[in-house]
Amino acid sequence: MAYVDFANFTSARRAFGEAGLVARPPESPATLTALEWSVVALARKDRISSLSEPSRMASALGVLFGDRPNPRLADPKLEALRRLSVHAWHQGYGLPSNEYDAFLDAGFTSGQLEQVLASISRGRAARNQGHHA
């Protein structure tokens, strides 16, 4: 009989854990630090294009006219939060699965994910009401 150690597969463990089939360690409280909340707030002004590598044309224009500030963060955990937040500010709950995985792999919890998305959703609603009022 074959044996496959699913505990070493992140996606499988996450999927089985969310279905309640694998015991998960208790999560820490769903809170972010002040620095992390500032990343979420700053991501509101970042464009979706800030998530991709600059094209050759953009690099050439940067040489001619000066580089635009790079919004990417040096800390991988904060960059995962920024990327997820940029998507959420622009697309709501329609997040690419790779950004969701990167967020959790960076050390955040599903509770923190829910907290970030709920906060951004409230911000998006307030912004939309301001435009229609």
Q: In the chain, which residue ranges form alpha helices assigned H by DSSP?
A: 10-18, 34-43, 56-65, 76-91, 97-105, 110-132
Encode pLDDT of 36-93 as tens digits: 999 999 999 998 888 776 667 766 666 667 665 667 888 999 999 999 999 999 998 8
Can you say whether residue 54 is alpha, beta or left, with left for phi > 0 and alpha for psi between -120 and 50 degrees?
beta
Encode pLDDT of 24-40 as tens digits: 555 556 789 999 999 99
pTM of the model: 0.68
